[in-house]
Chains A and B, each alone.
Chain A
Amino acid sequence: MSDIADRVRKIVVEHLGVEEDKVVENASFIDDLGADSLDTVELVMAFEEEFGIEIPDDAAETIQTFGDAVKFISEAS
């Protein structure tokens, strides 16, 4: 679980160029981390590659926060 969180955090930090300590459980990609809608699509693409999973579009729409992403990926992988 923590390993997944670390890997997800690393992707978010690299992609959005934010400080690591800003990437907390409830941090919203768009509202708190400055992502635009296209960034969220790219994040999902990056998660899919990093974890070798498929994230369908309807599931991707529910991934709004860092915590959402970690939870989804933990359950999917």
Chain B
Amino acid sequence: MLDLTDKTALVTGASGGIGAEIARVLHKAGATVAISGTRTEPLEALASELGERVHVLPCNLSDAAAVDALPKQAVEAMGRVDVLVNNAGITRDNLFMRMSDDEWNSVLDVNLTATMKLCRGVLRGMMKARWGRIINISSIVGAIGNPGQANYAASKAGMIAMSKSLAYEVASRGITVNAVAPGFITTPMTDKLTDDQKTNLLSQIPAGRMGEAREIAAAVAYLASADAGYVTGTTLHVNGGMAML
């Protein structure tokens, strides 16, 4: 069992399926968690489920000022941030030839730029502490692409390259920076797929099933742990064999 007792973690997108599960697993391992997201209601529900050692920090990551403020709010709430999980992300799917500047920019702003700003915001404290864990939730499509998702795929590939570059810079300070790239995971978003779409999808997954949010959370918990101190700049693909990278 991974032990994160006395560690503090900031998780973005915790109002969504995967983010909430990440917060649950880190909390269960003993961490104090700050859960962030745009929708307050699910955050409050998650907070009451978890009970103690939890702070609700609503934040709209498309608001640049709110992004800059979030690391400070997390430090105010928990004293410091040992673990940052950049899980929040949005999609604005469209065929490339029809994709508007706004669809492109809004996805890059939230998925990539906000991730960069949050990393920058927590690094000072991690450098001083000589310990830190940054885990950026990318996606399989950041590695293999996906029609209709040029913006999303670019943002998720950007997160991987950014993580690697940052990992180089701060490795000597006890800070690791890694990415987790989920394949298709059962969430409210994927529940909306039709049976035909699901059958088609499953035929491409050697494991023959979709992944579960807790399987992403387990990967995050490992990378957040002290035991993963020698793992940095890597991308952990959790995709049932859909892409073996």
- Chain A residues close to B by CB (< 8 Å): 38, 41-42, 45
- Is A38 in contact with B128, judged by CB distance below 8 angstroms? no
Smallest CB-CB separation from B172: which chain A residue?
A38
In whole angstroms, what is the CA distance A41 to B170 when docked?
12
In whole angstroms, what is the CA distance A13 to B169 when docked?
22
- Is B172 in contact with A45, judged by CB distance below 8 angstroms? no
In whole angstroms, what is the CA distance A41 to B127 when docked?
10
Extra pairs beyond A38-B170, A38-B173 (8, CB < 8 Å):
A38-B127, A38-B169, A38-B172, A41-B127, A42-B127, A45-B124, A45-B127, A45-B128
A41 neighbours in B (Cβ, 8 Å):
127
CB distance from A15 to the nearest CB of B (A): 11
- Chain B residues close to A by CB (< 8 Å): 124, 127-128, 169-170, 172-173
CB distance from A37 to the nearest CB of B (A): 9
User: What would be 10 A-B contacts, judged by CB atoms less than 8 Å apart?
Assistant: A38-B127, A38-B169, A38-B170, A38-B172, A38-B173, A41-B127, A42-B127, A45-B124, A45-B127, A45-B128
Q: Determine chain A's interface SS by DSSP, over half rule.
A: helix
In whole angstroms, what is the CA distance A38 to B126 when docked?
13
In whole angstroms, what is the CA distance A41 to B169 when docked?
12
Nearest first, the 5 closest Cβ-Cβ pairs linking A and B are: A42-B127, A45-B124, A38-B169, A38-B172, A45-B127
A38 neighbours in B (Cβ, 8 Å):
127, 169-170, 172-173
B124 neighbours in A (Cβ, 8 Å):
45
In whole angstroms, what is the CA distance A42 to B173 when docked?
11
Smallest CB-CB separation from B169: which chain A residue?
A38
Smallest CB-CB separation from B127: which chain A residue?
A42
CB distance from B167 to the nearest CB of A (A): 13
In whole angstroms, what is the CA distance A35 to B171 when docked?
16
CB distance from A16 to the nearest CB of B (A): 13
Smallest CB-CB separation from A39: which chain B residue?
B172
Smallest CB-CB separation from A41: which chain B residue?
B127
CB distance from A71 to the nearest CB of B (A): 24
Smallest CB-CB separation from B124: which chain A residue?
A45
Smallest CB-CB separation from A46: which chain B residue?
B128
B170 neighbours in A (Cβ, 8 Å):
38
B128 neighbours in A (Cβ, 8 Å):
45
In whole angstroms, what is the CA distance A38 to B123 when docked?
12
A45 neighbours in B (Cβ, 8 Å):
124, 127-128
